[in-house]
Each structure stands twice: as C-alpha cells, then as structure tokens.
Amino acid sequence: MKKISKSLIPAAGMGTRFLPATIAQPKEMLIVVDKPVIQFVVEESVDAGVSDILIVTGRHKRAIEDHFDPSFELENALLEKNKKDILKVLHQVANLANLHFVRQKRQRGLADAIYQGKTFIGDDPFVVLLGDTIIDSKSDESVLKQMIDIYEKTGKSVVAVEEVERKNISRYGIIDGKEIEKGIFCVNNLVEKPDPKKTPSNLAIASRYIFSPGIFNLIEQTKPGKDGEIQITDSMKYLAQIGELIAVKINGKRYDIGNKIDFIKTNIDFSLHNHEMKTQIRNYLKKLIQEYE
C-alpha cells in the first residue's frame, strides 16, 4: 500500500460571511494572532509528515501564493537593518512546504474543489484539510497523524469527526456509525444537516479527510445538489455503504474561522496560549468584564 505523501487544501471559497473584510483579502489570510489561517493548516500537514501540498484557490486569492513566496525586497530591507530574527521567520515560511497551486474556476462545491487536484494527486492517496479551519490537538499525536496511521493500516478512507451540541446538529454532516475502538468508528452512512430529533448521532464531519484516488471516480458520478454544488458527503456515502469509511473523533479543539464569532474566539484562545502576550490579554479581559458587568 502506498504511503500518504500529498495533501490538498481547498481554499477557493468567497468568504461572504466576512464581508466587507474579504472583498480583496482571502478569508484564509485572516490573521490569528500573528499568522494567517492558511499557514496553520499548511503547518498541520507538514507536522503530520506530508509536505507536498496543493492549494486550490480562486479569483482574488493571489495573496495566498504571495504569502508563501520569498519576498526579496523585504528580506533585503531586514538584512540592512540587521533584523535577523524576523528574517529567519520569513525564510521558515518560504521553505515550509513544497507548495503547488491550481484554481477552481467556478464555485461548484467542496467535491468539485477536491476534483481540481486529480492531476496533481494521480494514483496516490491524499489528505484533504479545509483551508479555513484550525485543529489544535491535545495529545502529542495530532488527529491528522492518527488518521494517516489508520489509512496506512487499513487502506480505508478516513474522516475526522467532533461532538456537537444537539441544537446545532442541523448545521453539519453527521455520521451514522459503530464505535470499533475508543474514538474510532466504522461509518455506515452520512446524513447531511439532519433534524436534531432524527439524527443518528452527534458526531459531525470536522474538516479533515483522507481518500484514495478512487474518490475522483465517485465525484464524477455525484449529481449536483442545492445551488448546483457537488458535495463531498454525497460522494462519501458510497464508501460508507460498502464499509470503506472510518471516522476518528478529534482529541482537541476545532476552530472554524469561517464565521465572525468563532474567529474572535479563536484569536482570544490563541493569544492566551501565547507566552509573550497571555498575561496582558488575561488582565485586559478581566478588566473588560468588570467594566461591562
């Protein structure tokens, strides 16, 4: 069985929930403390041992490519001012991974965005990480590394899931499955945005996937749904029906940067994790709470 050596990051969404901030700036370039979201996602892939990465972009997304390119003018300016620490950071970003880019020319859903990577992927299994979501693992082994290990042992596609509150279930794709080990499930079916009263579980698909290249054939056979979009959950249903899909529950926290409230919460959380600023942020929050009580 082939080892996983490639990742695909869909980052072509228009970011309409963040307008007007995303008129000219990709939502994946929104900053969490001191880094754009897309850099966290690339680092997650690299940390899991996968550094050959295709990012699927769209119009007005050149800033993503520019972020990971060397900036010779800025490097020369920093060198002249002897700011070697900052220069080192620039070099680390530019050399983070072997990055490739392709455009999704029309907004036709997540499955179509993934399909844009067919030529790059070829006959290899691959990871999919959504470009507007950060996963902060609590254990030394990230959920992505755990997913890769499961795929390379079983050859089955793998999806990350997280527990969600019952009142929010209708926002997500939900799995119907049987727990075969602690936190690991054999998936029998996928239900897109079910009624909370009829849901098969409270385990929602959580922005990380591993597929064999056969997924491209399933995408080709998947009919467009609402708004003409092709949804990856529809393509994955067949994998579940034939027993070829495993789910892994996240041991940690998923941060969805796709909406304003969660974006603000993410910045607060990550600033409190930052040793240089956590004390100042904590004191400021305490003072702020007192003022508004």
CA angle, 153 as apex, 149 and 155 as ends, to 5°? 105
Mean pLDDT of 218-239: 87
Please tell me whether residues 253 and 165 are part of one structural domain.
yes
Please tell me whether residues 192 and 277 are part of one structural domain.
no
Mean pLDDT of 53-69: 91
Residue 90 has pLDDT above 90, yes or no: no
Question: pLDDT tens digits for 98-121?
Answer: 999 999 988 888 999 999 999 999
Please tell me whether residues 194 and 272 are part of one structural domain.
no
Beta bridge partners of 178: 186
Please tell me whether residues 185 and 280 are part of one structural domain.
no
Residue 293 has pLDDT above 80, yes or no: no
Residue 32 lies in a domain: yes
Residue 171 lies in a domain: yes
Question: pLDDT tens digits for 128-168?
Answer: 999 999 998 877 778 999 999 999 999 999 999 999 888 88
CB 216 within 8 A of CB 238: no
Instruction: Give pLDDT, residue 161.
Output: 94
- State the total domains in the chain: 2
Please tell me whether residues 293 and 225 are part of one structural domain.
no
Please tell me whether residues 168 and 287 are part of one structural domain.
no
Please tell me whether residues 79 and 206 are part of one structural domain.
yes
Residue 238 lies in a domain: yes
Residue 275 lies in a domain: yes
Residue 265 has pLDDT above 80, yes or no: yes
Task: State which residues form the domain around 179.
Answer: 6-258
Mean pLDDT of 15-26: 85
CB 60 within 8 A of CB 16: no
12-39 burial by CB neighbour count: b if 16+ within 10 A, else e? bbebeebeeebeebbbbbbebbeebbbb
Q: What percent of the chain has pLDDT over 90?
A: 54
Residue 183 lies in a domain: yes
State the CB neighbour count (10 A cutoff) for residue 9: 27
Please tell me whether residues 82 and 104 are part of one structural domain.
yes
> Can you read off the two tokens belonging to residue 245?
């899909």
Alpha-carbon torsion angle 272, 275, 279, 280, nearest 10:
-80
Helix 278-292 vs helix 260-273: angle between axes, to the nearest 10 degrees?
Answer: 130
Mean pLDDT of 245-254: 92
Distance, in Å, from the CA atom of 175 to the CA atom of 240, rounded to the nearest integer, reads: 9
Residue among 167, 148, 145 at smallest CA distance from 157: 148
